[in-house]
Structure 1
Amino acid sequence: MDISDEHLQTIEKYALFQHLIDSNGIVDESVLDKLKLNVRSLIASMEENSKDLLDLCIDVIYHNNMKAFGLHQLILLYIQWERDKEAREDSEE
């Protein structure tokens, strides 16, 4: 499964990982199901073009290989991407 910067930007744009994981910090199938429901609800409620969100669903969230472990790895990748982005912004200042 290939994760692009566009996918990560979409996750950031819609804050898909905020309040996703319970206080126990465990990423399991119920967390993946919660993400899928959140995304489905977002798409249903949107009036504007949501191509970026649909692409994320097709390429990542609803990918055949996306399981709890894959979601955990995606969350870790997103955290690293955020840190790298902040470091780039700090170095530009």
Structure 2
Amino acid sequence: MYKIQANASGTRSIEITDCHLETIKKYSLLSGLVNSNGIIDEDILDKLKFNVRGLLESEPGKDKDLLDLCLDVIYNQNMKGIGLKNLVALYKEWSLSHQDTEE
């Protein structure tokens, strides 16, 4: 279980599980999400929400893990641009540490 800071003041946080990170990896949700300027803000969060909504609409009810990721993390009421930035950083760190175990 991991915890990311969801707002600038640090008063809100979101819990992230390995299952959430596996789902992000399975659907490559963060790949190509960030623009060339590297800034992660509310617009990028909206883009992620649209991408996930499209996945859910194309396969309604087929992947409980994707739905859990949406409810617990992406559409969490505390999720803001800074939360997504922290999620991306956590995912990068997590994927590097889990890359060794897969090989």
- Same fold? TM cut 0.5: yes
Provide the C-alpha distance between the structure 2 equivalents of 1:83 and 1:20, rounded to a whole number of angstroms: 19
Which residue matches 1:43?
56
Structural RMSD (CA): 1.2
Residues 86 and 19 (structure 1), Cα distance of their counterparts in 2 relative to 1, 3 Å cut: same
Unaligned runs of 5+ in 2: 1-13
Cα distance between partner residues in 1 of 2:76 and 2:34: 20
C-alpha separation in 1, matches of 2:102 and 2:63:
27
Q: Which residue of 1 aligns with 2:72?
A: 59
Identity %: 52
In structure 1, the partner of 2:92 is 79
Identify the residue that residue 9 of structure 2 maps to in structure 1.
Answer: none
C-alpha distance in structure 2 between counterparts of 1:53 and 1:86, whole Å: 21
1:29-72 C-alpha deviation (Å, 9 max, x unpaired): 00000000000000101166111110000000011110000000
Aligned residues: 90
CA–CA separation in structure 2 for the residues paired with 1:43 and 1:25 = 27
In structure 2, the residue matched to 1:19 is 32
Gap regions ≥5 residues in structure 1: none
- Structure showing the higher strand proportion among its residues: 2
Query: Which of the two has greater helix per residue?
Result: 1
